[in-house]
Chain A
């Protein structure tokens, strides 16, 4: 009874560990249901309550289905199916009576483990999932062994050893197994909780981003990374105004004569992007080429992906920091980049028009506006709530704002003054991680700036924020946030607080570097990378060769393990005789050794074995005779190899006997365990 009780406790523990990663995602009622089910089973193991009637189980299952349907309303989201699985996984506890039920729950756990990776592929998730799997194996061990072997943490230890032994196979499969694309997909629920840039800019949008310390992307440079002020991560271009905000719009395609000329230095880098809300990938201003799956370079000079990024993805890019583009703007383009809605922000439009009259060249207009910003405006992360004509309100009343305010108003004024202009959304700066030699950009690095058309020069990047709060640009978000003590709230603030603790920050950097490595090497190991890696070892490898190769490697690994199990263990400093003896003792399976003690010779063990399990002991007779002849009689006619052979024969026959015996044992009817 105690053995079975401990197995049940193991089962509850591993089930909780398997459900835990879903805990924060699943609906609250379901979380409560799972906890209640667990508590009920715990009480049942302790003998306080009994199993309710079948109808209670049936009713609660139907109720759960109903609630799930109400929650998602459609079977076309993955969460619905995952939660259904988890619900049934937990509800199985309501009909837990036999050993077989525990086995079933545990086998289902392996399937549940896979669902973890639908939502998170990080290193941490992998660690949690793997420890859950070890617990599941410990449960299976506890379930299938006698009470003497399941004392304390013994099953966990065995499971841990088994897990470590399986690691080489895991590596083989990981490296060689063909990467299959899914046969079908169900989208994740809309509005999945990715934070990030939106494809429109309403005042206040970026401000809410700045509160978040979530990772946006990481970049590895092949050479030294540029200084912070050059790190403008252009993500999308907003060229139209709609309902008081800047939107992507549909600007006319640039005329073919316009092309980006690479003048001066170019820089190569690899960008590993986290899931994004928009189908645009950040790239360093100004991107020249990009490599990666389903991405293309937009004529406007940013990177566009075919669909919204759901997983961590890697891209290889090249940018020219001083790149300029052609000098012609078509009529349609000019019209599009000058368009302003008529009714909103009249003051700003009049102000722009007056500037156009006062100054002749665009340069003068730009400098005047920037100088005005510098003299009269305040950079703050706590701007006042915007009103309807928010640009007028900002320019002529509050004069307190944030990068989005400056970029939006500046572009507006430029258009009003007859200079083609557009807003660019992206990220600025990033933290350099020396442990991993990469730059890490988080959501609080989100930034907005402007691009204005200067005849003869092309699109010029103008960042009004750089004039008002240069430290934001020079040294990154952290510097300006520290300067404005208390202005930032939420996670991002904690992040910067943490950063001021020296050793903790160092540690954090190391962990982040590790996590970055994980994303690059493990999560991103797709078919292309697999083929590239394998072809360095195996130059003419074809994709079709992968499957047989994986199978061969797997079988080879299996063979190594089998040999390891059957062959005498490799132990330094042990004589051949001692190895025979130890190997023989392991055949006894520990049980008879308890009766005879450690100092037992082969003959005594054999006697004890014979009285405990005569059928098995009979198999060992041949070995025992050979062993004694060789060791104690020093009979030269018995060669060491013949003793080894006898031992091997013993092991084989014993393994076969135990296997068949176990089969017989298992085919009996399942017994009730509670």
Chain B
């Protein structure tokens, strides 16, 4: 693996303790040029991870705390009438950054959510007939509380589909938590952290990731997974074609992070849960007696080599 990537990973691991898998998945998501949704209860380091990513990668990043009264223009920016010049002048909102950290996205009302997601999709903001392109690279790292928490507006499926991956942070292990309790605050570490790579380097890596080989055997495997997900009665809805594409893209960058220039089935399996858990919804528990109970189980029902 090339040195800079390793140092980026080391830097992230030093801040986010005992979450190597999640850190790598998050980085893989960025390398694949996809947006990331982090889901978990408050206080598990979602925001820290997002901040650390921005910091370590040397990207210009902004943070928006979503609440019920955040308006679309608070995100995308607004045109302000400038009396001296008798013109409207566009004031870019926080979305004009390389990493946008959208905290608690499901607390915002649907109108605001969709404005953000539209920007993510188009990579641009349109205001008064003028299109303002977003910077490159551009990532959204959104966090959300588990849906059942009160005062939330769950993201609709169509919008969830725009995120490449969903991550659960989970509680740290006992060892990691002990270190966490005794060492300096993670946020402080983030602030102290210097950039370990440049945006140009990141763009270069993204190009490398796109060059990772996906053999026909792997494409077949992904195809089998996708088709099986549509046939399996355990799911309300199978994977969309975009789901399949996302799976391939994520597998590529996972393989890249493993230092390989080709994808193996293990890469696909490693990112499968993260890529698919927000795209596949299990049927309600009463009618899925006897069917699959987890995505891991689903993977075990599809032949790796056929």
Which residues of chain A have a CB within 8 Å of any CB of chain B?
574-575, 577-578, 580-581, 597-604, 628, 631-634
Contact A598 B264 (CB under 8 A): no
1/0 contact string of B276-306 vs chain A (CB within 8 Å): 0000000000000000000010011111111
Which residues of chain B have a CB within 8 Å of any CB of chain A?
213, 215-218, 261-266, 269, 296, 299-306
Q: Give which listed residue, B301, B302, B305, contacts A577 with CB less than 8 A.
A: B305
Contact A631 B306 (CB under 8 A): no
Contact A598 B300 (CB under 8 A): yes
Q: With A632-B262, A632-B264 in contact, do A601 and B304 touch (Cβ < 8 Å)?
A: yes
Contact A634 B215 (CB under 8 A): yes
- Nearest B residue to A604 via CB reads B266
- Nearest A residue to B218 via CB reads A632
Contact B262 A633 (CB under 8 A): yes
Chain A residues near B302: list those with CB within 8 A.
599
Alpha-carbon distance A628/B261, docked complex (angstroms): 12
Chain A residues near B306: list those with CB within 8 A.
574-575, 578
Q: With A578-B306, A581-B304, A581-B305 in contact, do A603 and B216 touch (Cβ < 8 Å)?
A: no
Q: With A631-B305, A634-B213 in contact, do A601 and B269 touch (Cβ < 8 Å)?
A: yes
Contact A601 B265 (CB under 8 A): yes
Chain B residues near A597: list those with CB within 8 A.
296, 299-300
Contact B264 A603 (CB under 8 A): yes
Nearest-CB distance from A183 to chain B (Å)? 58
- Nearest A residue to B302 via CB reads A599
Contact A628 B304 (CB under 8 A): no
Alpha-carbon distance A604/B302, docked complex (angstroms): 15
Alpha-carbon distance A628/B306, docked complex (angstroms): 14
Alpha-carbon distance A602/B218, docked complex (angstroms): 13
Alpha-carbon distance A633/B300, docked complex (angstroms): 23
- 10 closest pairs, A vs B, by CB? A601-B265, A581-B305, A597-B300, A599-B300, A599-B299, A633-B262, A601-B304, A598-B300, A634-B215, A632-B215
Contact A601 B266 (CB under 8 A): yes
Alpha-carbon distance A581/B217, docked complex (angstroms): 13
Chain A residues near B300: list those with CB within 8 A.
597-600
Chain B residues near A577: list those with CB within 8 A.
217, 305
Contact B304 A632 (CB under 8 A): no
Contact A601 B301 (CB under 8 A): no
Contact A599 B264 (CB under 8 A): no
Q: Give which listed residue, A578, A604, A633, contacts B305 with CB less than 8 A.
A: A578
Contact B215 A631 (CB under 8 A): yes
- Nearest A residue to B299 via CB reads A599
Alpha-carbon distance A575/B213, docked complex (angstroms): 22
Chain B residues near A631: list those with CB within 8 A.
215, 217, 305
Nearest-CB distance from A94 to chain B (Å)? 50
Chain B residues near A580: list those with CB within 8 A.
305
Chain B residues near A575: list those with CB within 8 A.
305-306
Q: Give which listed residue, B218, B261, B262, B301, contacts A599 with CB less than 8 A.
A: B301
- Nearest A residue to B270 via CB reads A604
Name 10 A/B residue pairs within 8 A (Cβ), A-sorted. Answer: A575-B305, A577-B217, A580-B305, A598-B300, A599-B302, A599-B304, A601-B264, A604-B269, A632-B217, A632-B262
Alpha-carbon distance A86/B264, docked complex (angstroms): 62
Chain B residues near A598: list those with CB within 8 A.
300-301, 303
Q: Give which listed residue, B215, B301, B304, contacts A633 with CB less than 8 A.
A: B215
Contact B215 A603 (CB under 8 A): no
Chain B residues near A574: list those with CB within 8 A.
306
Chain A residues near B217: list those with CB within 8 A.
577, 631-632
Nearest-CB distance from B51 to chain A (Å)? 34
Alpha-carbon distance A632/B217, docked complex (angstroms): 7
Contact A634 B266 (CB under 8 A): no
Chain B residues near A633: list those with CB within 8 A.
213, 215, 261-262
Nearest-CB distance from B221 to chain A (Å)? 9
Chain A residues near B301: list those with CB within 8 A.
598-599
Alpha-carbon distance A651/B261, docked complex (angstroms): 30
Nearest-CB distance from B241 to chain A (Å)? 22
Alpha-carbon distance A597/B300, docked complex (angstroms): 6
- Nearest B residue to A605 via CB reads B304
Contact B216 A634 (CB under 8 A): yes
13 more CB-based (< 8 A) A-B contacts, given A580-B305, A598-B300, A631-B217: A575-B306, A598-B301, A599-B299, A599-B303, A601-B264, A601-B304, A601-B305, A603-B264, A631-B305, A632-B218, A632-B264, A634-B216, A634-B262
Chain B residues near A581: list those with CB within 8 A.
304-305
Alpha-carbon distance A549/B263, docked complex (angstroms): 55
- Nearest A residue to B213 via CB reads A633
- Nearest B residue to A585 via CB reads B305
Nearest-CB distance from A464 to chain B (Å)? 81
- Nearest B residue to A582 via CB reads B305
Alpha-carbon distance A578/B224, docked complex (angstroms): 14
Chain A residues near B296: list those with CB within 8 A.
597
Chain B residues near A634: list those with CB within 8 A.
213, 215-216, 262
Chain B residues near A578: list those with CB within 8 A.
303, 305-306
Nearest-CB distance from A606 to chain B (Å)? 10
- Nearest B residue to A628 via CB reads B264
Interface centre among B215, B300, B305 (most CB of A within 10 A): B305
Alpha-carbon distance A601/B303, docked complex (angstroms): 9
Alpha-carbon distance A600/B269, docked complex (angstroms): 9
Nearest-CB distance from A342 to chain B (Å)? 97
Chain A residues near B261: list those with CB within 8 A.
633
Alpha-carbon distance A628/B218, docked complex (angstroms): 11
Chain A residues near B216: list those with CB within 8 A.
634
- Nearest B residue to A603 via CB reads B266
Contact B305 A599 (CB under 8 A): no
Alpha-carbon distance A515/B266, docked complex (angstroms): 60
Q: With A578-B305, A601-B269 in contact, do A632 and B299 touch (Cβ < 8 Å)?
A: no
Interface centre among A578, A580, A599, A601 (most CB of B within 10 A): A599
Q: Give which listed residue, B213, B262, B263, B304, contacts A600 with CB less than 8 A.
A: B304
Q: With A581-B304, A632-B263, A633-B262 in contact, do A599 and B215 touch (Cβ < 8 Å)?
A: no
Chain A residues near B269: list those with CB within 8 A.
599, 601, 604
- Nearest A residue to B255 via CB reads A632
Alpha-carbon distance A285/B273, docked complex (angstroms): 90
Alpha-carbon distance A580/B301, docked complex (angstroms): 19
Nearest-CB distance from A508 to chain B (Å)? 48
Nearest-CB distance from A80 to chain B (Å)? 62
- Nearest A residue to B304 via CB reads A601
Alpha-carbon distance A628/B265, docked complex (angstroms): 10
Alpha-carbon distance A378/B266, docked complex (angstroms): 95
Chain B residues near A628: list those with CB within 8 A.
264
Nearest-CB distance from B186 to chain A (Å)? 32
Nearest-CB distance from A581 to chain B (Å)? 4
Alpha-carbon distance A643/B304, docked complex (angstroms): 18
Alpha-carbon distance A602/B304, docked complex (angstroms): 9
Chain A residues near B262: list those with CB within 8 A.
632-634
Nearest-CB distance from B261 to chain A (Å)? 8
Chain A residues near B303: list those with CB within 8 A.
578, 598-599
Nearest-CB distance from A603 to chain B (Å)? 5
Alpha-carbon distance A604/B269, docked complex (angstroms): 10
- Nearest A residue to B305 via CB reads A581
Nearest-CB distance from A598 to chain B (Å)? 5
Alpha-carbon distance A598/B300, docked complex (angstroms): 5
Alpha-carbon distance A628/B263, docked complex (angstroms): 10
- Nearest A residue to B221 via CB reads A601
Nearest-CB distance from A630 to chain B (Å)? 9
Alpha-carbon distance A597/B296, docked complex (angstroms): 9
Alpha-carbon distance A599/B305, docked complex (angstroms): 9
Alpha-carbon distance A603/B265, docked complex (angstroms): 9
- Nearest A residue to B225 via CB reads A599
- Nearest A residue to B265 via CB reads A601
Nearest-CB distance from A588 to chain B (Å)? 14
Chain A residues near B213: list those with CB within 8 A.
632-634
Alpha-carbon distance A632/B212, docked complex (angstroms): 11
Alpha-carbon distance A631/B304, docked complex (angstroms): 12
Alpha-carbon distance A604/B305, docked complex (angstroms): 13
Chain A residues near B215: list those with CB within 8 A.
631-634
Interface centre among A574, A578, A632, A633 (most CB of B within 10 A): A632
